[in-house]
Amino acid sequence: MEQDMITTDILIIGAGPTGLFTVFEAGLLKLKCHLIDALAQPGGQCSELYPKKPIYDIPGFPEVLAGDLVDNLMKQIEPFQPGFTLGERAEDIEKLEDGTFIVTTSKGTKHHTKVVAIAGGLGSFEPRKPAIEGIEKYEDNGLAYMIKDPEVYRDKKVVIAGGGDSALDWSIFLADVASEVTLVHRREEFRGALDSVEKVQDLVDAKKIRLVTPAQILDVKGEEKVESVLLQHNDEAKRMEVIECDAFIPLFGLAPKLGPIANWGLEIEKNAIKVDNTLDYQTNIPGIYAIGDVNTYPGKLKLILCGFHEATLMCQSAYQRIFPDKRYVMKYTTVGGVDGFDGTRKEAEKAVVKKIGNK
Amino acid sequence: MQDVNITIIDREGVEHKVLAPTDMNMNLMEVCKSYELPVQAVCGGMAMCATCQCYVISDHDLGERNDDEQAMLWEAENVKENSRLGCQIPITDALDGLVIELAPEAD
């Protein structure tokens, strides 16, 4: 095997709630996990689409914000030291003779794994790109559709376009990092959490963000990389303006696509992967499982809580596949505690057995 | 239990006459899904994807678009004067006889 390949027991495609919880259940079985996600941060839809919206049907949580659920899951799986390949889309899969798999991402990162768990939700989120001819040339050369590492923009001149939560939140964040932040939107109205909208207003008032609305970016210029953008004010004069900048970040939302997984030879029905729900959520290819919103079977419900259940059963099956000769019975965490791969141990406090008498 | 009659014209121009319950807290997008009509409803009803966009053909008064719906329709494609997001239209008695057409799917 190549040296620089990431190796793991279970490769989880999709770092949404179902994928994250898989790490915990696998960890209890001493199986190591690595996750791939097309988004720049874990949490899937919960982080990307509705982090500040409440969920009411997570057992034991009368109400939890989607973003907090992700934070909690990340904390819960921390002892099991999952690896992450973020901002890359799982592209190709190859089954080796020994039954293991090599999964390669859109950026060429290779992962060697014993079991594949597709927890891809609706598919990978593809950014909506602005209709500007030849814009591809600037991708990764100053043009980005999502922000992976905000430090890249330190002391840079940044133009952000968009009118939703991510445009607002990144404008707020980068106002303190970049030397110049210009926020461009086609309309004067923004749609986001109230506190984000108010924060941006404050930063605009304090001249830490330059707000240009209604306006749109018509073109990107630069030799090798982004050097400026051409902006059109959507007022009566349709005035044009060139804004010099180091980075252009259009945040126009993300559209999910099942993507390359659709070509992996898996049985697909109505945009979802068919699995065996009578047993272990395995697909038609042994060793590849599909859990959470991405799968389908009679009576399927796309609920986070159902994804958690599917992940749990799937891990038991994965264990059997990886260790066909080992015997194992499920153990309650209250009984067995949780032994992290990082050496930490959580366990229930022992009850005392002590006489209580009269003096 | 009170059901209303709704006609949904799919993207192939086929008319589907369906019965929609008014007492199940359902919306137009969910009615489409319950009859397995090709509405993706990617975001599940949060007015965040516009895959349930439809055109109102009959002259029913569905009220103004709400803020979320309006903001999403600013961003969506194939939007017309009579565009609405099915997920933001609750099923009420007033919808009896409504005729809608599913908007084309964006790429």
**Quick one: pLDDT band at residue B107, thresholds 50, 70, 90?**
low
> Is B68 in CB contact (< 8 Å) with chain A?
yes
Of B46, B49, B71, the CB nearest to A189: B71
CA nearest to B48 within chain A: A49
Residues A253 and B106: beta-carbon distance below 8 Å: no
Inter-chain CB proximity A163 and B44 less than 8 Å: no
Of A49, A186, A271, the CB nearest to B48: A49
> What are the tokens at A319?
């264990």
Residues A210 and A185: beta-carbon distance below 8 Å: no
**Quick one: pLDDT band at residue B1, thresholds 50, 70, 90?**
low
> What pLDDT is stored for residue B74 in this prediction?
86
Assembly ipTM? 0.81
Of B42, B71, B72, the CB nearest to A122: B42
Domain B3-102 belongs to what topology?
A: Ubiquitin-like (UB roll) (3.10.20)
CA nearest to A46 within chain B: B43
Per-domain residue ranges of chain B: 3-102
Count H helices and E strands in chain B, helices first.
Answer: 2, 5
Q: How far is B16 from chain A (nearest CA, A)?
A: 20
> What pLDDT is stored for residue B2 in this prediction?
80
pLDDT in tens, chain A (359 residues): 555 899 999 999 999 999 999 999 999 999 999 999 999 999 999 998 888 899 999 999 999 999 999 999 999 999 999 999 999 999 999 999 999 999 999 999 999 999 999 999 988 888 888 889 999 999 999 999 989 899 999 999 999 999 988 899 999 999 999 999 999 999 999 988 889 999 999 999 999 999 999 999 999 999 999 999 999 999 889 999 999 999 999 998 877 788 899 999 999 998 899 999 999 999 999 999 999 999 999 999 999 999 999 999 999 999 999 999 998 888 899 999 999 999 999 998 888 899 999 98
- H/E segment holding residue A127: strand A124-127
**Domains recognised in chain A with CATH numbers:** 6-125+255-346 (3.50.50.60), 130-252 (3.50.50.60)
> Is A239 in CB contact (< 8 Å) with chain B?
no
> Is A323 in CB contact (< 8 Å) with chain B?
no
Q: How far is B35 from chain A (nearest CA, A)?
A: 14
C-alpha R_g of chain B: 12
A45: which chain B residues are within 8 Å (Cβ-Cβ)?
Answer: 43
Q: What's the pLDDT tens digit per position in A273-329?
A: 999 999 999 999 999 999 999 999 999 999 999 999 999 999 999 999 999 999 888
Q: What's the pLDDT tens digit per position in B29-75?
A: 999 999 999 998 888 899 988 999 999 999 999 999 999 999 899 88
> Is A17 in CB contact (< 8 Å) with chain B?
no
> What pLDDT is stored for residue A212 in this prediction?
96
Cα-flanking dihedrals φ and ψ of residue A311, to 5°? Answer: -60, -40
Residues A188 and A214: beta-carbon distance below 8 Å: yes
What is the rounded CA–CA span in Å between residue A64 and residue B91?
28
* Amino acid present at A330: M
> Is B36 in CB contact (< 8 Å) with chain A?
no
Count other Cβ atoms within 10 Å, centred on residue A133. Answer: 7
- A residues 135-194 closer than 8 Å to B (CB): 163-164, 186-187, 189, 191
